Amino acid sequence: MNQNYHDHQIKEPVGWLDKPEAVRRFFFAIYLICGVLLVAEFFLISAENAHPHPLEESVRFLVYPMYGFISFWFLVLVAKPMRKLLIRSEDYYERGSDDAE
Amino acid sequence: MLSSLPPFVLFFVGAVVIAFTRGTARKVLILAIPLVGGLNLWFGVEPGLHLQFDLIGYTLTPYRADKLSLLFGYLFHLAAFLGFVYALHLGDGTPEGSVAGEVGEDDIVGNASAGLQHVAAMVYAGSALGAVFAGDFITLFIFWELLAISSVFLVWARKSERSYATGFRYLIIHVISGVLLLSGALMLAHETGSIEFGHVGLVGTGAAGWILLLSFGIKAGFPLLHNWITEAYPESTPTGTVFLSAFTTKVAVYALARSFVGTDVLIYIGTAMTFFPIFYAVLENDLRRVLGYSMINQIGFMVAGIGIGTGMAVNGAVAHAFADVIFKGLLFMSMGAVMTMTGRTKGTDLGGIYKTMPFTAGLCIVGASAISAFPLFSAFVTKSMIMVAAIEEHHYIVWLFMLFASAGVLEHAGIKIPFFSFFAHDSGIRAKEPPRNMLIAMSIGAVLCVLIGVFPTQFYTLLPYEMDYHPYDLRHVVTQLQLLAFGALGFITLVKSGVYPDEKRAIHVDAEWLYRKAGPWLAGTVGRAVTRVDVYVRSSVLEFVGSIMHGAERTHGPVGPLAKSWPTGSMVLWVAILLVAYLLFYL
């Protein structure tokens, strides 16, 4: 998929996403935000946790960043083989009921 | 006087009136009805039994107001108002700058059925109000069925063969839900002698409780009963789907909150609902179907909250229902605007339209931020109540699933919807911004998403139970931002590494396969087997009867021995022989 988004020909009008520099800046902003949030983790050590979850008590550090990142990968890595099993043509249901493949 | 009338009356009378009006008069009416009704409810209605009477031995209560029903009453007036602002342009012809006609569907925006949509939506909104203010199961049943009958016209308004077929399936499923509701209510009345629409639960109510739960579950989109959502929403008109997303499922959430608070099984059903749709949402190409799966995911949080059953959990559930109507409505509105202007809603067909539809793109991003529960947006202050309640009640595994589902929401609704529709690859489509009324409706929705997120304390005063909850503490804000930011980082790495699945022109079969493919196949196979047995039995019986007939014909037919006529002389001879034999033996 990634190739499609970078190799397409730019069409008029030119948008900010058509400029590679703008895309790079956008990604840099995300990385920067992630970095800041990693630093913010140190402030949580002293912050009160009114509703602690056992996961937070056992792992103690970077629970949420890891959970968010791994969740996305897990989601996609499970969905991809699901697609092989479940994918059908768009007119699958209009093709009559002779087969239940 | 208006405050003594049940809120649905204004909508039903209004529906009759707008059926006979056109142009500006109709536009004024469809905006005035929810506005006047909402203001009347806000300022003029206090909790209490406002209409109650006896009929054939039962006490019917068509108008009962308490904090729970009033909250949903405000919500449905608001949703109806936003929906009608959004639908104001219907009947005005194809919007300027639309390229929808290029895809070959004559009336993709439903202009030809403008009157039908306005009237159906008015009855639909009125039915939802009738249901939430119903104080007994018989009244609830009547509005439960009216919800189905009125809303199916919003699916049929698309006027395509597929929407007709989808509408019929939608209607059948909802009528079954209604029949179950009536059956459960009558069984409950037989056991308890009461038809009051109150707490039912599953303890001590026998089969009645389970049947009512199943009835509510169909409308709420419980797992395996959920496909009416993912089938009907993408097949309706752009405006029709906005109304559909607001009422039916939320009436079901209200009914569950009224009758099944603290029912443990709902925790696990709700958790499953948060969990399984997000995998489908990753794969689906039709972005309105993605939002359908997203709807089930969000209702899952509400159902789980009702199952947990503490004051904070139920507050979280109904608050999240309130927020969901607005942010999901905003997302459906933005996809409807895209559909109206481009004629397309599939990820493979869209992309790059942020260049010519920047306001719509921005408003869609606000809705995406709200559903993803970014701080300062609505879901941050509503969904977190359910999550906190899960920890407080020691449902730790459930909480982990919910946290995973929260990350999944960001993936499909927070990123995929705006990314594939407005950004991604440039599709070359150069449609303009939608009509002004659509932009206004989306803007109001966006403002509300932010207002609820920024001023949660004021919003919490509307909730039915007392609680002490403050969503904005350092830990909640930072950990939520960490979850979302690193989830986004995960998305970037998935795309950059080429692992993220392409959008494909295809569908992915779900439980609807059971009744759309397996059911007809099974019926056909059984039918053919029965036909073969029938043919065999018929031919065997006919053969047997034929052989008997043939034997009878052989003996009794015209040339059969038993059909011969005997000469009189031979008879006299035989009589004489018998007489002689008799005389010989006798003598």
Same domain, A36 and A56: no
Give the per-residue pLDDT at B63: 95
Closest chain B residue to A94, measured at CA: B162
> Which residues of chain A lie closer than 8 angstroms to B500, CB-CB?
1-2, 76
Q: Is residue B102 part of a domain?
A: yes
Q: Is B501–A76 a contact, with Cβ atoms under 8 angstroms apart?
A: yes
Statement to judge: residues A1 and A34 lie in one domain: yes
| Cβ–Cβ under 8 Å, residues B495 and A73 | no
- Looking at beta carbons, which residues of chain A come within 8 Å of B375? none
- What ipTM does this complex have? 0.87
Structural domain contains residue B126: yes
Shared-domain flag, residues A4 and A33: yes
Q: How far is B217 from chain A (nearest CA, A)?
A: 25
Q: What's the CA gap between B483 and B90, in Å, rounded?
A: 41
Structure tokens at B390: 């899960």
* Cα of B58 to nearest chain A Cα, Å: 46
* Number of domains, chain A: 2
Residue A96, in any domain of the structure: no
Alpha-carbon gap, residue B313 to A88, rounded angstroms: 40
In a domain, A94, yes or no: no
Same domain? For B195 and B282 the reply is no
Q: How far apart are the CA of B141 and the nearest CA of chain A, in angstroms?
A: 33
Whether B556 is covered by a domain: the verdict is no
Contacts of B428 in chain A (CB under 8 A): 11
Which of B259, B288, B311 is the last residue in one of the domains? B259
How high is the pLDDT of residue B117?
A: 94
Domain coverage including residue B18: 1-259
**What single string gives the DSSP state of each residue in B32-54?**
HHHHHHHHHHHHH--SEEEEEEE
Chain B hits for A9, Cβ within 8 Å: 426
B contacts of A27 (beta carbons < 8 Å): 492
Same domain for A18 and A57?
no
The residue of chain B with its CA nearest to that of A70 is B490
Provide the shortest C-alpha distance from residue B137 to chain A (in Å): 37
Q: Do B133 and B7 meet the contact criterion of CB atoms below 8 Å apart?
A: yes
Same domain for A71 and A43: no
B351, burial (CB in 10 Å: exposed 0-12, middle 13-18, buried 19+): buried
Which of B489, B504, B514 to probe the A interface (max A CBs under 10 A)? B489
Contact A65 B278 (CB under 8 A): no
B27 vs B25: CA distance, rounded Å = 5
**How many angstroms separate the CA of residue B154 from the nearest CA in chain A?**
22
pLDDT of residue A11: 66
Question: Could you count the other beta carbons within 10 Å of the beta carbon of residue B173?
Answer: 18
Residues of A in contact with B501 (CB under 8 A): 1, 76, 79-80, 83
* pLDDT at residue number B4: 81
Q: Which residue of B has its CA nearest to A15?
A: B355
Q: What is the pLDDT of residue B333?
A: 97
Q: Are residues B173 and B49 in the same domain?
A: yes
- Regarding whether B203 and B237 lie in a shared domain, the answer is yes
Tell me the residue type at B77: H
Q: Is residue B248 part of a domain?
A: yes
Which residue positions in chain B have pLDDT lower than 50? Answer: none
Residues B271 and B302 in one domain: yes
What residues make up the domain containing A75?
Answer: 50-88
B571 part of a folded domain: no
The answer to whether the CB atoms of A63 and B486 lie below 8 A apart is no
Q: What is the pLDDT of residue B57?
A: 79
The distance of B514 to chain A (nearest Cα, Å) reads 9
Cβ-Cβ pairs closer than 8 A, A with B, add up to 194
Q: Are B327 and B371 in contact (CB under 8 A)?
A: yes
If phi over 0 gives left and psi between -120 and 50 gives alpha, with beta otherwise, what is residue B48?
left
Closest CA to B114 of B26, B232, B245: B26
B10 within a domain of the structure (yes/no): yes
The reply to whether B203 and B248 lie within a common domain is yes
| Domain shared by B223 and B276, yes or no | no
CA distance B561 to chain A (A): 57
Same domain assignment for residues A57 and A42: no
With contact defined as beta carbons under 8 Å apart, do B487 and A71 qualify? yes
H or E element in which residue B60 lies: strand B58-65
**Is residue B99, in this structure, part of any structural domain at all?**
yes
Q: Indicate whether B492 belongs to any domain.
A: yes
Distances from the Cα of B74 to the Cα of B61, B78, B150, B265, angstroms = 20, 6, 21, 29
A56 occurs within a structural domain: yes
**Beta-carbon count within 10 A of B505 CB:** 11
Q: Which residue has the tokens 């359908």?
A: B292
For an interface test with A, the pick among B416, B477, B517, B522 (most A C-beta atoms closer than 10 Å) comes out as B517
Closest chain A CA to residue B428: A11
Do the chains contact at B473 and A1, CB–CB below 8 Å? Answer: no
End-of-domain residue from the set B228, B259, B290: B259
* One domain, residues A55 and A42: no
pLDDT number for residue B136: 96
* Number of domains, chain B: 3
Q: Are residues B211 and B352 in the same domain?
A: no
**B478, B490, B524: residue with CB nearest A97:** B524
DSSP string, B474-493: HHHHHHHHHHHHHHHHHHHH
**Residue A81 sits in the same domain as residue A65:** yes
- pLDDT at site A9: 56
Could you tell me if residue A68 is inside a domain? yes
Same-domain pairing of B59 and B99: yes
Cα B72 to Cα B42, B310, B550, distances in angstroms: 12, 19, 78
Which of B255, B385, B410, B251 has its CA nearest to residue B319? B385
Q: Given an 8 Å threshold on Cβ–Cβ distance, is B487 in contact with A69?
A: yes
Residues B204 and B136 in one domain: yes
Residue A32 lies in a domain: yes
Whether residues B207 and B228 share a domain: the answer is yes
Interface contact B489-A82, CB threshold 8 A: no
Instruction: For B268-298, write each residue's pLDDT tens digit.
Output: 999 999 999 999 999 999 999 999 999 999 9
- Is the distance from CB of B452 to CB of B445 less than 8 angstroms? no
Q: Do B250 and B276 fall within a single domain? A: no
Q: Residue B486: its chain A contacts at CB < 8 A?
A: 34, 37, 64-69
Question: In this structure, what token pair is assigned to residue A94?
Answer: 């209009």
Residue spans of chain A under pLDDT 70 = 1-11, 96-101
- Give the chain A residue nearest B358 (alpha carbons): A15
B405 lies in the same domain as B436: yes
CA distances from A13 to B41, B334, B434 (A): 49, 22, 19
